[in-house]
Amino acid sequence: MIKNISDCTTLNNGVKMPWLGLGVWQVNDGPEVERAVIAAINAGYRSIDTAAIYGNERGVGKAIKDSGIPREELFITTKLWNAYHDYDVALKAFDDSLKSLGLDYIDLYLIHWPIPARKKYVEAWKALIKLYEEGKVRAIGVSNFHIHHIEEIINATGVIPAVNQVELHPYLTQKQLLEYCKKRGIQVEAYSPLMRGKVASIREISAIAEKYGKTPAQVVLRWHLQNGVVVIPKSVHENRIRENADIFDFELSESDMKEIDNLNINKRFLPDPDKMNYTG
């Protein structure tokens, strides 16, 4: 049982990654993201997930510096955007992210989307391998990759991603992908784990939450953890950031886990990765 906010999963290269992190998608750069990151760190979070396309790497970096927490105690993730899949361009994009964050290294670097129409994600993966081999990043992975995308990069390079960050929640449980990644030793990480706040309106989840004396959001985050999935809920409100971390003092029963699993309707709030249009 995952019992503490400091508990970590061990990635396939031995690097430890916190089970709970703060996501900062759609959080404004400057004071807003800085306050959110500081609030999360003060609440015990040690993992922060950003991306080049979010436009807030600079603010995340400032908050990390201002927090006073030793760098080695933090786990920072950022991502390579779709426009930068060409090998040399990807290397430069990483350097730009590193500079924006004001860091000497990144803990986890991900390809943000495969963008199959461009047919460049294998090239991008080779760039990430180089960054890993050079010690500029502690672990490399992918985001929004289906099984066939992952198979292609492994077949081309022999290197298995450490993480696959995907949309995953009660309406999109991704059981086949979860099973595949488990067999491959790839840690699955969920973004939009709370369905953009919509979990509160699901009757079955509300009933389970009432039984445990928890909020629907806390129940769903706990469901993720018990499924072996890393979660990075996003919030800019200190009370909600703290509430999202209050999930380590209870455990869902097997029947309640199954009831949430059964809510799956394969509903996505973001595009299917095979159909995601290229955007510069």
Residues marked active site are found at: 54
Cα 148 from Cα 152, distance rounded (Å): 6
User: CA-to-CA distance for 208 and 260, rounded, in angstroms?
Assistant: 9
Kindly state the DSSP code that residue 20 receives in the 8-state scheme: B
For 269, which DSSP code? S
Q: What one-letter code names the amino acid at 117? A: A
CB atoms within 10 A of CB 136: 18
User: What residues have CB less than 8 Å from 27, skipping those under 6 apart?
Assistant: 33, 36, 54, 56, 234, 236
d(CA 245, CA 196): 17
* Residue count of the chain: 280
CB contact at 8 A, 161 and 153:
yes
DSSP assignment, residue 89? Answer: H
CA dist., res. 199 & res. 218, Å (int): 10
Q: How far is CA 123 from the centre of its chain?
A: 22
Residue type, 252: L
DSSP class of residue 277 equals P
